[in-house]
Amino acid sequence: MKSFTVTALLAIAASTFVGTVFATPAPVTWLSVETGITEAGNTTTIAKRIGTEVVTCYNTGTKADRAPIVSVIDDWCNLIEDLRLSNHAIGQHVSNGQTIWARYNYGTFTVLVSGAAINGCSFTVDGNCNRLLREPVDQCNTGGVNGKQGGFETDLCGQWRTDPGSNGSDF
């Protein structure tokens, strides 16, 4: 009966999940990583992202310490010389209306990070990934390094989201 239940649950999960789940090797503290790309319409490119950066804080929802959130940001953004499949954002092209994302599962909470191309823009993710995703971490819930609830940074061409959540939810 347990085998049937697990098989049934896996069949349900496989039929509704869009993305990739990575099992992470032992030294890393998260349990799993889901990644994906949400596709959208036409492609327009610009040479350089410009405009004012605006940070919007959630100020509600799951609270997490800064250290594991920054660990997620660094892992997802940075191209590390290992053999993982496309788990990292730097170097990925994001077309207008497209969102790239990853959700890291720590067991007791998750951290969702994403980057979206907006306003007719397209871009290739560069070293700004880390900085832009850290902005809502460092500019929101500024009473200390703990109790971070995330938010998003929006500029003329992109929206970068850092969002701690619990029980598979972004809240």
Each residue's pLDDT tens digit, 87-98: 578 888 999 999
pLDDT digits (tens, 9 = 90+) for 58-92: 999 999 999 999 999 999 998 544 444 455 788 88
User: Three-state SS for 86?
Assistant: coil
Q: Which residue has the tokens 């191209």?
A: 79
pLDDT at 26: 33
Closest CA to 114 of 61, 37, 41, 52: 37
Say what the pTM is: 0.72
